[in-house]
Chain A
Amino acid sequence: MDTATRLDLYRTMMLIRTYEEAILREYHADKKPVFDIGAGAIPGEMHLSAGQEPVAAGVCAHLTSSDAVTATHRPHHFAIAHGVDMHRMTAEIFGRVDGLGKGRGGHMHLFDPDVHFSCSGIIAEGYPPALGQAMAFQRRGTDAVAVAVTGEGAANQGAFHESLNLAALWKLPVVFVIEDNEWGISVPRSASTCVTSNADRAAGYGIPGTRVEDNSVEAVHHAASEAVARARAGDGPSLLEVHTLRLWGHFEGDPQAYRHDLDGVPGRDPLPTYEQKLRDEGLLDEAAVKSVAADASERVEDAITFARRSPLPDPKEARDLVFA
């Protein structure tokens, strides 16, 4: 892999992490001393993606703004990697008029039609719409592809299996991505899933299935390049599972009392791991790391300033926008 690509992957991962850390800070800032989920400038549930950056960075590196991504309740990393407008996404998370959904949606409901991005809070329900986007691309004769993302917990949902069958049957240009962070809230993978790799399930639908075991962005990048190329060439869908890491709680405020793997978590953080690798190979030095971090921070803080300055929606307009 060439150096420019490797540094791009690192930059994307850094941007995502910087974003999630900033949202973490903003989310909790006005929920102290007592945590109240409904309080503050960012109320409601908040599912952050720290630790899962390699999946989004590695997959989206192969996409353009003509390709579609359907994400989950944990959508920020894919939104950022796919080029969703960060200002308007942040304004949506803050519930402001300049948000992607004018404050109607919130963090689980980010829609950016300019880059064909959407997400849903209902488990596995982002898979079926990706098929339709792929159908539209196919029928219009473009080579665009649709990437459908879920967690490993979602791979036990009916919509997941129906979608694999339909996409395979109709040879749709879809890449199914499963982020296996080992936990569906408090339920470990071992208690939810009858196979050790969801990639094995691809065989049941006659499509290629790959599992990337080590949360390495380069391995994801490599596996995704094959899956995306196959879809673009009209050869149909593939499934890619990545064994990744949920660095933080399922949602903010999750005490994680159920989690027995926490001691090992810091050592598995993919960002310092990748940074070290690039340093060891002489591709990054202290100054370069600082400059990547500073760039990321500037972009993120800009977006947060934009969001905070955007007006709150007018309650008198609460009933608008139900229909076109």
Chain B
Amino acid sequence: MSLTGAADASHASASTTTRKLSTSKAMVEAVAAEMERDRDVFVMGEDVGAYGGIFSSTTGLLDRFGPQRVVDTPISESAFIGAAIGAAVEGMRPIAELMFVDFFGVCMDQIYNHMAKIHYESGGNVRVPMVLTTAVGGGYSDGAQHSQCLWGTFAHLPGMKVVAPSNPADAKGLMTSAIRDDNPVVYMFHKGIMGLPWMAKNPRSVGPVPEEDHEVPIGKAAIARPGTDVTIATLSLSVHHALDVADELAGDDIDCEVVDLRSLVPLDTDTILESVGRTGRLLVVDEDYRSFGVSGEIIARVAEHDPGMLSAPPVRVAVPDVPIPYARGLEDAVLPTSERIRTAVFGVMGR
């Protein structure tokens, strides 16, 4: 059984030194370490320099590495993301940041027709070792163009790995792996777990992070909480809502197992199947849109393997297919909140 990044970190503390960091600091630590290690790693994007990233994903890097390696770009996403692809093709290891995933529409061609296809089209002769970082998620009333997750869209299109950490240790470990990976990796961080001082934060957005080199393999899910009654498969911020609900429901004699997917491509189907094999019940919680996405995919993988594993119909809590509304009450009604997760657990348990 795999453990969460956080559990990894504390378990390993006999041999590893950890200290508590926010998710954003953990991310930056990984980027800085790789920049020290490898001259080919550089960062470019909007407001990554003096501002340090709108969500603090590049804080301090400009001071440490200078404007040649931490490059503020114009608002020309096709151009600079395309430039990252070209630099990667020449063997550099760029990290290109685009502030919100919602903005990818303006430069999607570079991403899905170029970044993701070059390796295949070239018969494996050309590699694109780059990381595309972006903030995702809602919950703070930023409206329909600044609150989406959209990871299902990237996962749907072949040729790019997709990771979404839920905690600081994984943020560091997955970033290290993403930079070292010879493939394009889309690294999606939820604003609600970055530990930002100006946004209500989940208490687990600060946690123990190994001081030294720390890789979390891409494609390995984690059991964030072992349980016997129902598998809650989820990712990113929703992991925390699922854990909160699991803690509460322990009092109601429902023992939830929370699977933190950590990456969508590759998807750790084995861990999901093992878990569902133990619990016989599956709830998928996804902050992306419901239809044609992550929740349907996970349920399909279980059904394809053996529908008999499920003792109750699978349930999903996702954003019903509606743009994210602005008003607080409306947004809460469509996001996968703890309340919706709790109701869904009772539902799948037949209570």
Residues of A near any B CB (own CB < 8 A)? 35-39, 43-45, 95-96, 101, 103-106, 108-109, 120-125, 153-154, 156-159, 184-187, 191-193, 253, 257-258, 312-319, 322
Asked if A187 and B74 sit within 8 Å, CB to CB, the answer is yes
Residues of B near any A CB (own CB < 8 A)? 46-47, 49-51, 54, 72-78, 102-103, 105-106, 139-146, 198-200, 320-323, 325-334
Q: Identify the interface centre among B50, B51, B330: most chain A CB within 10 Å of its CB.
A: B330
Asked if B321 and A103 sit within 8 Å, CB to CB, the answer is no
Interface of B is mostly: loop
Asked if A158 and B140 sit within 8 Å, CB to CB, the answer is no
Which chain B residues lie closer than 8 Å to A103 at the CB level?
325-327, 330
Give the complex CA separation of A105 and B74 in angstroms.
27
Asked if B326 and A109 sit within 8 Å, CB to CB, the answer is yes
Given A35-B198, A156-B76, A185-B54, A106-B141 contact (CB < 8 Å): yes
Residue from B47, B51, B325 in contact with A104 in the complex, judged by beta carbons closer than 8 Å? B325
Asked if A153 and B141 sit within 8 Å, CB to CB, the answer is no
Which chain A residues lie closer than 8 Å to B72 at the CB level?
186-187, 191-192
Which chain A residues lie closer than 8 Å to B321 at the CB level?
322
Asked if B145 and A121 sit within 8 Å, CB to CB, the answer is yes
Asked if B139 and A192 sit within 8 Å, CB to CB, the answer is no
Q: Which residue of B lies closest to A184 (CB)?
A: B75
Which chain B residues lie closer than 8 Å to A318 at the CB level?
320, 322, 325, 329-331, 333-334
Asked if A319 and B320 sit within 8 Å, CB to CB, the answer is yes
Which chain A residues lie closer than 8 Å to B323 at the CB level?
104, 322
Asked if A193 and B320 sit within 8 Å, CB to CB, the answer is no
Which chain A residues lie closer than 8 Å to B145 at the CB level?
108-109, 120-122
Give the complex CA separation of A154 and B72 in angstroms.
15
Give the complex CA separation of A123 and B252 in angstroms.
49
Given A95-B327, A104-B327, A322-B321, A39-B200 contact (CB < 8 Å): yes
Asked if A121 and B146 sit within 8 Å, CB to CB, the answer is yes
Number of A-B contacts (CB under 8 A): 146
Give the complex CA separation of A120 and B105 in angstroms.
13
Asked if A122 and B326 sit within 8 Å, CB to CB, the answer is no
Shortest Cβ distance from residue A268 to the other chain B in the assembled complex, whole angstroms: 22
Give the complex CA separation of A104 and B50 in angstroms.
34
Shortest Cβ distance from residue B68 to the other chain A in the assembled complex, whole angstroms: 14
Shortest Cβ distance from residue A100 to the other chain B in the assembled complex, whole angstroms: 11
Asked if B198 and A43 sit within 8 Å, CB to CB, the answer is no
Residue from B54, B106, B142, B327 in contact with A125 in the complex, judged by beta carbons closer than 8 Å? B106
Which chain B residues lie closer than 8 Å to A45 at the CB level?
142, 146
Shortest Cβ distance from residue B349 to the other chain A in the assembled complex, whole angstroms: 25
Given A36-B199, A45-B142, A313-B329 contact (CB < 8 Å): yes
Asked if B327 and A313 sit within 8 Å, CB to CB, the answer is yes
Asked if A156 and B75 sit within 8 Å, CB to CB, the answer is yes
Given A121-B146, A318-B333, 12 other A-B contacts at CB below 8 A? A38-B139, A96-B327, A103-B325, A106-B327, A108-B145, A108-B146, A123-B106, A184-B74, A186-B49, A313-B330, A315-B332, A318-B331
Asked if A158 and B106 sit within 8 Å, CB to CB, the answer is yes
Residue from A105, A186, A191 in contact with B326 in the complex, judged by beta carbons closer than 8 Å? A105
Which chain B residues lie closer than 8 Å to A185 at the CB level?
46-47, 51, 54
Shortest Cβ distance from residue B195 to the other chain A in the assembled complex, whole angstroms: 13
Give the complex CA separation of A106 and B54 in angstroms.
20
Q: Identify the interface centre among A104, A153, A317, A319: most chain B CB within 10 Å of its CB.
A: A104
Asked if A253 and B198 sit within 8 Å, CB to CB, the answer is yes
Which chain A residues lie closer than 8 Å to B78 at the CB level?
158
A-B contact pairs, 15 of them (CB 8 A): A38-B141, A43-B141, A44-B141, A44-B143, A96-B327, A103-B326, A104-B326, A105-B144, A105-B326, A109-B326, A184-B75, A185-B51, A187-B49, A187-B73, A193-B74
Give the complex CA separation of A36 and B75 in angstroms.
27
Which chain A residues lie closer than 8 Å to B200 at the CB level?
36, 38-39
Asked if A192 and B74 sit within 8 Å, CB to CB, the answer is yes
Residue from A37, A122, A253, A314 in contact with B106 in the complex, judged by beta carbons closer than 8 Å? A122
